[in-house]
Amino acid sequence: MKFIDCSACIGKGGINRRIVNHENYIVTEKVSEPETAAELLAEMDYCGVDEAILYHQAMIDVSAQYGNGLLENELKSDKSKRLRGTITVLPSISDAGFDVADIQKKVRELNLAGVRAFPHNNRFMLDKVTCGDLLDYLTQSKLPLYLTPADGWEHIFAVLKEFPKLTVIITNYGLWGSDRYFYPLARAYKNVHIDTGDFQVIRGLEAFVGKFGSERLLFGTNYPMDNMGGPIAALLGAKISLADKENIAHGNIERILGGVAG
């Protein structure tokens, strides 16, 4: 089975990895971290992952600009063409280089698979007042916006209320069950998708597929916060059809990225 990891990370953390375990319960753990794209590819080869969409830890620990630059260098060094990137965005009103035209240029130059926003970490509101130009562009182009509830779910619910057609990928939400958060989002917004990296609860995949179908789940590893083997085992062992497994493993993310408008 072909596996496309919809969300993995490279780069050393500032101290330890910040991992979401339950609601607002945050822990830091020492984990093995791939510093470069080459190290990530080696782990992918070991685990049988064909392609990956990645970001850089420095986007969070240092700054969006610095982390985006490091990621760009790593993507350009990838001769395998198995990796695609996501950059972190900031409000264009306050930060040069984040106008829609700038982002469009980066998407084309680097063949990006989406953008990420960390509004709490970067001290801004992810709403129409602050980011209307960006959010309009993302809605129209169908370029995925990656969001994590590491600092709470409120900004995810809020931005979707204003921009209900956004293509959103929810990632890094912790290994405790989060279905009471993302089930309502999946019901209300047809373009919300869930990265399965943290979705390793017993029969969780089966329950989601039974309620919403398999088209809203994207295989991901959330590596290195999670080991790659866990999400692979959870998907292969799930009591769902082979067609559903193929959708989750690679078909859904291929469909989403195939529908992105320039």
Is the pLDDT assigned to residue 22 strictly greater than 60?
A: no
* Dist. CA 231–CA 17, nearest whole Å: 19
pTM of the entire predicted model: 0.94
- CA separation, residue 72 to residues 13, 55, 221 (Å): 18, 10, 21
127 touches 101 (CB < 8 A) = no
Q: How many CB atoms lie within 10 A of CB 80?
A: 11
| The two three-digit tokens of residue 110, written as one number | 């680097």
CATH number of the structural domain spanning residue 244: 3.20.20.140
Closest of 214, 212, 204, 221 to residue 255, by C-alpha: 214
Condensed to tens digits (0 to 9), the pLDDT of residues 99-152 reads 999 999 999 999 999 999 999 999 999 999 999 999 999 999 999 999 999 888
Closest of 34, 169, 196, 61 to residue 115, by C-alpha: 169
Number of domains in the chain: 1
* Dist. CA 30–CA 16, nearest whole Å: 5
- Give the range of the structural domain holding residue 93, as residue numbers without chain letter: 4-258
